[in-house]
């Protein structure tokens, strides 16, 4: 995934396909969504967005625990960066919060 500057951190952000946006947010395993975001039926019908939260994958490792408010702010900033006005959300485990 390419690194993108989001709220002072470098986050892995990837998008595929086109159409209505669907953003996938992983949980504590870090890669639960990896298989589904590549699914052709999704990519052929939706703009599929996934990213590694702070401390996961190649994203910046935080100096302190990341609050839920910071995670929400990061997700919102990713959507703004990608010029997404509305999106469907799919979260696994902690990513579903």
- Predicted confidence at residue 35, as pLDDT, reads 61
37, 91 in Cβ contact below 8 A?
no
- Predicted confidence at residue 17, as pLDDT, reads 93
- Predicted confidence at residue 92, as pLDDT, reads 67
Tens digit of pLDDT per residue, the chain (97 long)? 578 998 998 999 999 999 999 998 877 666 656 667 777 888 999 999 988 888 877 888 888 788 889 988 999 999 999 999 999 887 666 665 6
3, 12 in Cβ contact below 8 A?
yes
87, 21 in Cβ contact below 8 A?
yes
Q: What does the alpha-carbon distance between residue 61 and residue 82 come to, in Å, rounded to a whole number?
A: 22
Q: What does the alpha-carbon distance between residue 97 and residue 94 come to, in Å, rounded to a whole number?
A: 6
Tokens of 90: 């799919």
- Predicted confidence at residue 32, as pLDDT, reads 58
């Amino acid at each position: 995934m390419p690194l993108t500057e989001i709220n002072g951190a470098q986050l892995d952000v990837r998008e595929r396909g086109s159409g209505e946006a669907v953003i996938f947010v992983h949980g504590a395993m870090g890669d639960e969504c990896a298989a589904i975001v590549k699914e052709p039926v999704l990519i052929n019908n939706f703009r599929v967005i996934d990213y590694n939260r702070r401390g996961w994958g190649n994203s910046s490792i935080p100096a302190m625990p990341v609050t839920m408010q910071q995670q929400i702010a990061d997700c919102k900033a990713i959507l703004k960066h990608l010029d997404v006005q509305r999106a469907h959300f799919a979260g696994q485990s902690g990513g579903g919060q």
